[in-house]
Amino acid sequence: MITLVKPSVHLEAEYLDFLAEWEQSGETIVPHVVSKTFLPLADFLEEHHQETLYVQPPRVTHSTYWLYDGKQIVGAVNFRHDLNDGLKQIGGHIGYGIRPSARKRGYATEGLRQALEVAKERGLESVLITCSADNIASGRVIEANGGEELEPFLKEDGTRVRRFNISLS
């Protein structure tokens, strides 16, 4: 069973293994906030806790969760509590990523479902989620969780970003 858990020192070995797999794959770690980890992990977690409470604008407060299957961290979810102008175009309220060896098992779909519950508990009535137009799997995950596609956003380099709204009511 997959569960969203708050990052903690007691899962440090699992977390370092999670990061190492991403780095070995050569892919960009998603969500991006996960890649800025520094050691000791306790210091990183304290900084992260502070970012759930306050950050300097234009940044927004956010919460990160690990997707844990009881043995390893299979993914991560970042929930942005509010949106700034940039996040309204690219990023949205929720970003998620699954480690390469754990993909195609439904973890992203379940992780997003649980993240939507967190957003609902915080009082949001809907969330915005985005993905690259070429990320077919992520688009399917969002649609499986009730995502209704909005107008796309075109980045300066010509890359199209799909944007979705998910109603939480």
Closest Cα partner for 9 from 60, 44, 35? 44
Half-sphere exposure of 53 (CA within 13 A, CB side): 5
Tell me the percentage of the chain whose pLDDT exceeds 70. 99
* pLDDT value of residue 39: 73
Q: Model confidence at 105, in pLDDT bands (50, 70, 90)? A: very high
Closest Cα partner for 33 from 67, 102, 79? 79
* pLDDT value of residue 38: 67
**pTM for the full predicted model:** 0.94
Residues 6+ apart with CB under 8 A from 123: none
Half-sphere exposure of 63 (CA within 13 A, CB side): 12
| Res 151 pLDDT > 80 | yes
Reported as a single tens digit per residue, the pLDDT across 81-94 is: 999 999 999 999 99
Q: Which CATH number fits domain 3-167: 3.10.20.30, 3.40.630.30, 1.10.150.120, 1.10.940.10?
A: 3.40.630.30
